[in-house]
Each structure stands twice: as C-alpha cells, then as structure tokens.
A and B are shown apart, each in its own frame.
Chain A
Amino acid sequence: MEKLPILQYPDERLKKVSIEVVDFGKEFKEFVEKLKYTMYNSPGGVGIAAPQVNNHIRTIIVDTSKSTHKTNKVSHGLMVLSNPKIVYGEGEIIFREGCMSIPDYTGNVKRFYYIKVEALDENGKLITFDTEGFEAVVIQHEIDHLDGKVFIEKVVSPKDIFKRKVYK
C-alpha cells in the first residue's frame, strides 16, 4: 500500500468544509484502510483527517495507544470516527501542536481538557464516549480539519507560534 499525499498549507483545499459520511460501503472502507496506512507511516502517527488527503468527507482516524505523551491518560486505541461531534467540553489544556499539513510551525493551542464525543464508527453505528488529555486534544485538532480550520488560527498569542527546523 502507498501513503496518500498530504495537503500542505497554504493549499486552499485544506480550508474546505467537509461533508457528512452517509455511505459506509466498500469504497469508504477501502479509503479508510489507505488513510490508516498514511497515518501510521507519517510523523506523529496519532491522528489524521480525511480532508488532509484531499477527500472532503467528515472522517477522522485517531490512535493514541502508543503515545508516550505525558498527558496521554485515556486511550481508546484505534478509532475511525465519522461525522464526529463534541457534545460536551470542559476544562482547558494548552498544548504545543504540530501538524502534518503545516510542517514548519508548531503553536500553543488551548483546547478542552475533557470531551464527550458522538460519532459513527467504521460501520456507521452511533457511538458516544468520554475522553481527556492527549486523546481529547488529537480529536479536537482533527475535527478542526473537517471544518477547514488549522491550528495556526487558534494559537493563544503571537508569542505562541514557533518556526521549527526539524519535523520529528
């Protein structure tokens, strides 16, 4: 399998709002496999959103199970979430985020610490779950992609955006 090419800012296609998934058939499942492969074989490898590979459907993939990040307290393992909604958010966490679509910068972004999520799973079945810390940040970051938003517009203050030389 080959990695799908990742759109990089300022590509206008990253700003498009994605549409809801209605068909969870073969075509969708094949795409999800490619998206998983792309996520696992990219820097970070904990989250990806369909529009990042130029497919504007509301699907994100998250897997924080292997992350050693200190805020990684709750992990639901690999999740394919379609039409995800944050139905409740509480607390705040400021996190230095990096993104495959903006490889040259990182920025401090404020997010909810705890979230309750409603989404459809890989087979289109409705699921709801609570999460916190790292996994909650990843989900919020990926959902922003579905709305055509990138983290740069959410940085806390001008002092909170940083150029980086190496994408590790």
Chain B
Amino acid sequence: MKQFIITAFGEDRPGIVAKVTEILYKNGLNIEDSAMTRLNDEFVIMLVVKGDTEKSSLENDLKSLEKEGINFTVKEVPLSKEKEKEDYQLYNIIVYGSDKPGIVYNVSKLLAEKSINIADLRTEKTKDLYVMFIQAEIPNSLDITELEKEVESLKDNLNVDISLQCVDTANL
C-alpha cells in the first residue's frame, strides 16, 4: 500500500474535479483527505490518496490532463500514522482589517513562537477588506492570558482586529 500527495490546478471551469478523480478511480486510489477550492480564477486540488499504484504509472495517466491546462505534482509520502500529540484546545482565530502585506506572516510567526499548530488557514479578500480564518491547536500548557496580551499588541501593530475563540464542542 502506498500513499501519495497530489496537487493539481487549472483555470476554473466545470469538470476539473471529475477529470482528476476519474484517473485516481481508474488507478484504484482512495482519497483519504482533500482540500479542493477556487483561488481567484484557478481551481486548486490537494489530495492525500492511498492505493497500490506505482508513482510512474499514475504520473503517466495524469499527464493527459496537461493538454487540458491542468498542471499536477505527485509525491509519494509515508503512510499516515496516529501521532502522539500534546493535549491541545482548538481555537478559531479570525483576523480582519484592511489589507496590507505581512498579516499572514506576522500572525503565523506569533503562533509558531508559541508552538501553536495551525490545522487550517484560509484567507479571503474583497476590495480592501482582508479576512483570515485559522483553526489553531493551542497546547493546554500555554498561558492563554499571556497569548491574549501578545495578540492585543499585534492588533495594534498591524492595525487589524483579531478574535480568539475557544471552540467548545458539546457531546450530545
């Protein structure tokens, strides 16, 4: 059993997902995880797939997409395993304000310094309003009040709003 990370993108239009996944299906690959979205005018696909196919034959089949303007990369990666992780609490971090260079860099730098893992990050921009959504795994050992103070000063420096929300799940 092999595992691959596949990326593919092309000018957005109907049929891109179907074209790419048809090849995966015919190669007997199962999609384990995926993010597929439109980024401005391009449609971008990122996949983790698993199966018994050889990388070379998969690449060969995917090459047929190039003439349709879909570019791709394939990389074989070790099979996923359950990792022991420090206990963490999930937070949604929402950053919004007028767009300027360095928002993603400065916010992610602060998180990295605090050993906070980013599980998901998306940004949207309309005219001058910039919004970033981060799903962050904050170690339970971290002092949240201290983090909130640093977020406050980052807000002032970047002149954006940052909201930090604890994601509280209720098991019903």
Our verdict on whether A and B bind, yes or no, reads yes
Q: Which residue numbers of A lie inside 8 Å of B, CB to CB? A: 43-47, 67, 69-70, 95-100, 106, 134, 137-138, 141-142, 159, 164-165, 167-168
Is B171 interfacial (CB-CB < 8 Å)? Answer: yes
Binding-face segment, B19-27, B107-115, B144-152, B162-170: B162-170
B168 lies within 8 A of A99 (CB): no
The residue of chain A having its C-beta at the shortest distance from the C-beta of B133 within the complex is A159
What CA separation (Å) do A160 and B85 show in the bound complex?
Answer: 23
Interface of B is mostly: loop
CB distance from A7 to the nearest CB of B (A): 15
Of B122, B168, B172, most A-chain CB atoms within 10 Å: B172
Is B66 interfacial (CB-CB < 8 Å)? Answer: no
List 29 interface pairs A-B (beta carbons < 8 Å), by A numbering: A43-B171, A44-B170, A44-B172, A45-B171, A46-B171, A47-B172, A67-B170, A69-B168, A70-B168, A96-B167, A96-B168, A96-B169, A96-B170, A97-B169, A97-B170, A98-B170, A98-B171, A100-B171, A100-B172, A106-B169, A134-B170, A137-B170, A137-B172, A138-B170, A138-B172, A141-B172, A142-B172, A164-B169, A165-B85
14 new A-B contacts at CB < 8 Å, known A98-B170, A168-B171: A43-B171, A44-B172, A46-B170, A46-B171, A47-B172, A69-B170, A96-B167, A96-B169, A98-B169, A98-B172, A99-B172, A100-B172, A134-B170, A138-B172
Contact residues in A for B170 (Cβ distance below 8 Å): 44, 46, 67, 69, 95-98, 134, 137-138
- Chain B 114-127, CB-CB to A under 8 Å as 1, else 0, gives 00000000100000
CB distance from A161 to the nearest CB of B (A): 12
Contact residues in B for A134 (Cβ distance below 8 Å): 170
The residue of chain A having its C-beta at the shortest distance from the C-beta of B33 within the complex is A163
Is B82 interfacial (CB-CB < 8 Å)? Answer: yes
Question: Could you tell me which residues of chain B, from 120 to 159, have a CB within 8 Å of some CB in chain A?
Answer: 122
Contact residues in A for B172 (Cβ distance below 8 Å): 44, 46-47, 97-100, 137-138, 141-142
Contact residues in B for A46 (Cβ distance below 8 Å): 170-172
Contact residues in B for A97 (Cβ distance below 8 Å): 169-170, 172
Of A134, A137, A142, A159, most B-chain CB atoms within 10 Å: A159
Contact residues in B for A45 (Cβ distance below 8 Å): 171
Contact residues in A for B171 (Cβ distance below 8 Å): 43-46, 98-100, 167-168
